Amino acid sequence: MYETILYEVTEGVAVITLNRPEKFNAFTEQMNKEITAALKQAQKDADVRCILLTGAGRAFNAGQDLGDVQGGGVDFGGFLRNRYNPMILQFRKTEKPIIAAVNGVAAGAGMSLALACDIRLASEKASFVNAFVNIGLVPDSGGCYFLPRIVGIGKALELAMTGEKLSAEEALKLGLVNQVYPADSFQEEALAYARKLAVLPTRAIGLIKRTMYKGLEMDLEETLEYETYAQEAAGSTEDHREGVAAFLEKRAPRFQGR
Ligand code: T3D
């Protein structure tokens, strides 16, 4: 069904693998659209309770395929509005946790892609390059939005202005990634992490995601009101009833994601 990505659901986790390893999984128009479609597919599928995004081969994603844009004359407005912006917005619209399993280099819009995920796990061989400036461009695909919110404005400006490579360990120190794992066991560790999230109360996690991101844009009063709305929704789920029952019966909860 997809040509530039692989999509597989296993034990509640939809694994999306960017699959152009010979080009460091660089974006083509088709890949932008297939990622958007795969996220929509995962959102609709009740069996999917966590999404894991990773790259085939040595890289996570090297940004736009520069072979497709050589010679100039790119219609950047159309390029971003039709391809990249809808893809990035779909990460927010997807009310399930999305993990980036950054197996290798994440550069340019590939770095923005990782930043758009809710949690980032890195192989010790991963690295991050805000490569836009190296080709005379500005961070796009949410790079100017996510990076300062995750690492602070001072570091974000430095990374964007210099285009210097950040190692996985440096990224961990900055809070840009949540965990670093040895390269040999990375895919298993990332899948195990995703499986843990996939047995938690998925509706509550979706509401946590929406409320916390909205909270970044709202004042305290608005956030309190939105939390109240979200709690009313979470409080009416089967998983909430199961969580309370399991606590009182002193047993492990069996959440169903509804
Ligand atoms: O018009 C527009 O551009 C609009 C687009 C906006 C969105 C963007 O993403 S702009 C940013 C685009 N990306 C880049 O500028 C990154 C370019 N790549 C690199 O800087 C480096 O390749 C990396 C830092 C990613 C990795 O470096 P390294 O030394 O580990 O690997 P390498 O040897 O440079 O690359 C390995 C192969 O992947 C190589 O192919 P080859 O020679 O083995 O056949 C290289 O050409 C290919 N590759 C890497 N990045 C891209 C790419 N091919 C096409 N497009 C790429 N972006």
Which whole number is the average pLDDT over 140-154? 98
Residue nearest to atom 26 of ligand 1 (CA): 105
Which whole number is the average pLDDT over 149-161? 98
Residues 52 and 14 in one domain: yes
> Does ligand 1 lie within 6 Å of residue 64's CB atom?
yes
Residue 197 CA, chain-centre distance (Å), reads 14
Q: To the nearest whole number, what is the mean pLDDT of the chain?
A: 97
pLDDT at residue 73 tops 90: no
Residues 58 and 132 in one domain: yes
Which whole number is the average pLDDT over 223-250? 98
Closest atom of ligand 1 to CA, residue 109: 9
Ligand 1 centre distance from Cα of residue 137 (Å): 14
- Residue 91 is encoded by which pair of tokens? 């990460």
> Does ligand 1 lie within 6 Å of residue 133's CB atom?
no
Nearest CA-CA partner of 32 in 148, 143, 112: 112
Residue nearest to atom 5 of ligand 1 (CA): 64
- pLDDT for the residue numbered 184: 98
Ligand 1 centre distance from Cα of residue 143 (Å): 17
Residues 180 and 244 in one domain: no
- pLDDT tens-digit map of 198-220: 999 999 999 999 999 999 999 99
Range with lowest mean pLDDT among 68-72, 85-89, 175-179, 207-211: 68-72
Residues 191 and 231 in one domain: no
Residues 146 and 215 in one domain: no
Residue 135 placed within a domain? yes
For the chain, the domain total comes to 2
Closest atom of ligand 1 to CA, residue 66: 55
Residue nearest to atom 56 of ligand 1 (CA): 65
Residues 123 and 176 in one domain: yes
Which range of residues forms the domain containing residue 243? 202-248
Q: Would you give the DSSP letter of residue 185?
A: T
> Does ligand 1 lie within 6 Å of residue 138's CB atom?
no
- pLDDT tens-digit map of 122-142: 999 999 999 999 999 999 999
Which whole number is the average pLDDT over 37-47? 98
CATH number, residue 222:
1.10.12.10
Residue nearest to atom 13 of ligand 1 (CA): 63
Residues 34 and 147 in one domain: yes
Range with lowest mean pLDDT among 68-77, 103-112, 194-203: 68-77
pLDDT at residue 72 tops 90: no
Ligand 1 centre distance from Cα of residue 107 (Å): 8
Measured distance CA(59)–CA(108) in Å, rounded: 13
Which whole number is the average pLDDT over 75-99? 96
> Does ligand 1 lie within 6 Å of residue 180's CB atom?
no
Please provide the DSSP assignment of 106-150 as one string. Answer: EETHHHHHHHHSSEEEEETT-EEE-GGGGGT----TTHHHHHHHH
Ligand 1 centre distance from Cα of residue 140 (Å): 16
Range with lowest mean pLDDT among 58-67, 68-77, 152-161: 68-77
Measured distance CA(254)–CA(243) in Å, rounded: 8
- pLDDT for the residue numbered 211: 98
Measured distance CA(37)–CA(90) in Å, rounded: 9
- pLDDT for the residue numbered 101: 99
pTM score, whole prediction: 0.97
